[in-house]
Chain A
Amino acid sequence: MTATVPPKAPTFLGLPTAPRGVGHLRGDQSFPDAARGALRDGQLRANLGHATSTIRGKRARVVAELPDWAQLREAGRALKAATMARLDDHLEELERQVTARGGVVHWARDANEANEIVTRLVLATGASEVVKVKSMATQEIGLNEALEAAGLDVFETDLAELIVQLGDDQPSHILVPAIHKNRAEIREIFARTIPGVDPGLTDDPRKLAMAARTHLRERFLRARVAVSGANFAVAETGTLTVVESEGNGRMCLTLPETLITVMGIEKVVPTWRDLEVFLQLLPRSSTGERMNPYTSTWAGVTPGDGPQEFHLVLLDNGRTAVLADEVGREALHCIRCSACLNVCPVYERAGGHSYGSVYPGPIGAILSPQLTGVEDNASLPYASSLCGACYDVCPVAIDIPSILVHLRAEHVEAQQRPTAEGVAFKALARAMSNPRLWHLAQRAGKLGRLLSRGRPTLPNALPPPVSAWTRSRDLPTPPRETFVEQWTREHRGGRS
């Protein structure tokens, strides 16, 4: 591999993070700015509220069916921790096994290098179009844009990804990327963008799904190259796994002559047996099903069945920087089930686009800043109420709240100049450790009652620096008297 690391790649703990200017890990706006627009969109909030509460309910029912869920979850956590501790060995074994079965393994330091490898492999086949299985890793590196820049046509084949692609939109959820669109919006996109679509197409989900089936069917049958991600890769056997529902994955994995799989290095599992844990944890946590409709596994190339050329691209793109952080590395355990999104009160209201990354929600709030370096996604560790619901549902028990706090500290320490918040808390600490100052401050605080005009909260249009707080939080009107004053008044005669 001759590709070079692009200049000025940011580093984190001494290891390069995901490079700037490529892929979808950084938003144009900070989280609070992006969320403000989403919060005003009543349609979006209604869609999200319905979707997340429905999936939450389904998940809870099927998880409760398994008497050994806690043991499976602990095994999943332990398996991931053990895998990370020997990640280099497992990847080398995976490479040996895939190669032994007729596959070709490529290594990519970052998004640019992975995109170059895949583009070169596709061009070498002489094909002009590529069919794709939904994949977080290829979204992360912006592979579609890279292939299109090389003059190739790229077809997303998962229904939701197709909706996002045809609507010139961005995915907003790990599992159901078009969850922010309702049926009427999807009908409009299909009517506008699918050539030769029935003009009488209604917004019935079945009719819409069948329109997508017809649109993609001929592309599957003529496709010569497919690109996929992988949910798991078994080191000891070289077996790759894709978990899906629609069969578009199976189409891509079996019909074309060439299959290129792009996989984050953290997706390796040591042994075949380990899948007995993850294939129970993943479907129940993600779609709330006992098992997803289709799981495909393959090891290298099988003569007479499926692609006769197989390439596996192993992607770093900041993952080793995450691994270097002993607290934060747990984020690499994520199996992309999206259960944490569906329980998160912040995600439910702000929506996936507010996070500015292909990884939204609680896991995105810890994974994206670590992959890019905290300063490139500094607002995300604050996009959380720290309520802990994400930790409770995580099938591999990633302690997301602790990592959020860890990353906040990381961000604060990275500041060269004191922030307004820092100054305020320093002043507060001084006041609170000195009774006389504290009483003075409390008395001064009561002036706020004048601003409230009798309402329970202060107006959010206060001047800076208070506005930094009130634009995203309510500031309660100070009480008429402090606790100490009230105590003194009520106990005056009795005790003293």
Chain B
Amino acid sequence: MSARDDVLGRIRQALGPERATPAEVTRDYRLTDGRPAGDPALLELLVDRVEDYRATVLRCSPAAIGATVRAALDQGLGAGWTAGDVVVAPGLAEAWRPAGCDVDDDRPAVQLADRAASVTAVAVGIAETGTLVLDGSAACGRRALSLLPDCLVCVVTADQVVGSVPEGLARLDPLRPLTMVSGPSATSDIELQRVEGVHGPRTLVVVLAG
């Protein structure tokens, strides 16, 4: 008998011929936080939660995203960075890209480790947990893009910000590769002292428009 048939057979044996019908799962927890996406209070909450992870949030109007991305790179890399330090997601809006920077292409992913910073959009922001979700779309880029450069700049627009985890997940496609980011890479493995950046980006700067 194959291992597959064996394991499935054991499960059926364990549950017995008259297995109980599973009870209906009651979803009486909060499915929404009650405020519409982009509500000003949700944006405030997102800022509070993201900053709690020791990340930086820069707020701006939709028209000023390009300039604010440059300010975010100043913040993450220090003044004096050059366009060659930065690589952006291929689908990032033209107006948001720093002039002259590289657009991620089909180069081997490991070459992204040479870059100091990357800029991506997000698919969803979850205010209550301070989480940004990247979904592998052209605007968010492939997963290595938000992983290898030491500074990650994410652009979030107000309409993408929802209150709760259930609202966030409902907006996502589970067939895409998703990366949920809540603050920079961090470890607490040595005497529970939090240290930012072991393997992923050590610096996260969020540009919140709206």
Contact A55 B192 (CB under 8 A): yes
Q: How far is the CA of A159 from the CA of B12 in the complex (A)?
A: 40
Interchain CB contact (< 8 A) of B177 among A79, A209, A306, A329? A306
Tell me the A271-318 residues at the B interface (CB within 8 Å): 272-273, 275-277, 279-280, 283, 287, 289-299, 302, 304-306, 314, 316
**Residue A206 CB within 8 A of the other chain:** yes
Closest-CB distance, A425 to chain B (whole angstroms): 33
Contact B199 A220 (CB under 8 A): yes
Contact B147 A247 (CB under 8 A): yes
**Residue A198 CB within 8 A of the other chain:** no
Residue on A with the closest CB to B22? A82
**Residue B64 CB within 8 A of the other chain:** no
Q: How far is the CA of A106 from the CA of B4 in the complex (A)?
A: 8
Contact A183 B12 (CB under 8 A): no
Residue on B with the closest CB to A108? B3
Closest-CB distance, B178 to chain A (whole angstroms): 4
Contact A67 B177 (CB under 8 A): no
Given contacts A247-B185, A305-B143, contact A109 B190 (CB under 8 A): no
**Residue B166 CB within 8 A of the other chain:** yes
Tell me the B168-203 residues at the A interface (CB within 8 Å): 169-170, 174-193, 195, 197-201
Closest 9 CB pairs of A and B: A247-B200, A82-B22, A320-B10, A324-B14, A291-B129, A160-B189, A247-B199, A295-B180, A323-B14
Chain A, 171-186, contact with B by CB distance < 8 Å: what is the 0/1 string?
0000010110011001
Contact B3 A85 (CB under 8 A): no
| 29 interchain pairs, CB-CB under 8 A | A1-B2, A1-B4, A15-B10, A55-B192, A75-B27, A82-B25, A92-B8, A107-B4, A157-B199, A183-B191, A205-B191, A209-B195, A213-B198, A250-B143, A250-B200, A255-B109, A255-B144, A265-B11, A273-B166, A290-B128, A291-B180, A293-B186, A294-B182, A296-B179, A302-B136, A302-B177, A305-B144, A314-B7, A320-B14
Tell me the A178-206 residues at the B interface (CB within 8 Å): 178-179, 182-183, 186, 205-206
Q: How far is the CA of A179 from the CA of B187 in the complex (A)?
A: 13
Given contacts A55-B192, A81-B23, A277-B29, contact A107 B2 (CB under 8 A): yes
Q: Could you tell me which B residues sit within 8 Å of A by CB distance?
A: 2-4, 6-8, 10-15, 19-23, 25-30, 49, 52-53, 106, 109-110, 113, 126, 128-131, 136, 142-144, 147, 165-166, 169-170, 174-193, 195, 197-201
**Residue A88 CB within 8 A of the other chain:** yes
Given contacts A209-B198, A265-B7, A314-B7, contact A276 B174 (CB under 8 A): no
Residue numbers in A under 8 Å from B14 (CB-CB): 13, 15, 320-321, 323-324, 329
Contact B182 A289 (CB under 8 A): yes
Q: How far is the CA of A257 from the CA of B32 in the complex (A)?
A: 39
Contact A213 B177 (CB under 8 A): no
Interchain CB contact (< 8 A) of A205 among B30, B126, B195? B195
Contact A209 B187 (CB under 8 A): yes
At the interface, is chain B mostly helix, strand, loop or mixed? loop
Q: How far is the CA of A182 from the CA of B28 in the complex (A)?
A: 43
Interchain CB contact (< 8 A) of B169 among A47, A82, A276? A276
Given contacts A85-B19, A101-B175, A250-B200, contact A294 B128 (CB under 8 A): no
Residue numbers in A under 8 Å from B183 (CB-CB): 293
Residue numbers in A under 8 Å from B6 (CB-CB): 107, 109
Given contacts A247-B198, A305-B143, contact A75 B190 (CB under 8 A): no
Contact A239 B174 (CB under 8 A): yes
Contact A293 B53 (CB under 8 A): yes
Interchain CB contact (< 8 A) of A234 among B128, B174, B201? B174
Closest-CB distance, B144 to chain A (whole angstroms): 5
**Residue A451 CB within 8 A of the other chain:** no
Residue numbers in A under 8 Å from B177 (CB-CB): 254, 296-299, 302, 305-306
Chain A, 44-82, contact with B by CB distance < 8 Å: what is the 0/1 string?
000100110011000000000001100110110011011
Q: How far is the CA of A30 from the CA of B159 in the complex (A)?
A: 58
Residue on A with the closest CB to B184? A293
Residue numbers in A under 8 Å from B128 (CB-CB): 290
Interchain CB contact (< 8 A) of A245 among B11, B49, B52, B186? B186
Residue numbers in B under 8 Å from A340 (CB-CB): none
**Residue A153 CB within 8 A of the other chain:** no
Closest-CB distance, B112 to chain A (whole angstroms): 10
Residue numbers in B under 8 Å from A182 (CB-CB): 191
Residue numbers in A under 8 Å from B27 (CB-CB): 75
Residue on B with the closest CB to A300? B175
Q: How far is the CA of A71 from the CA of B106 in the complex (A)?
A: 46
Tell me the A215-232 residues at the B interface (CB within 8 Å): 216-217, 220-222
Q: How far is the CA of A3 from the CA of B179 in the complex (A)?
A: 36
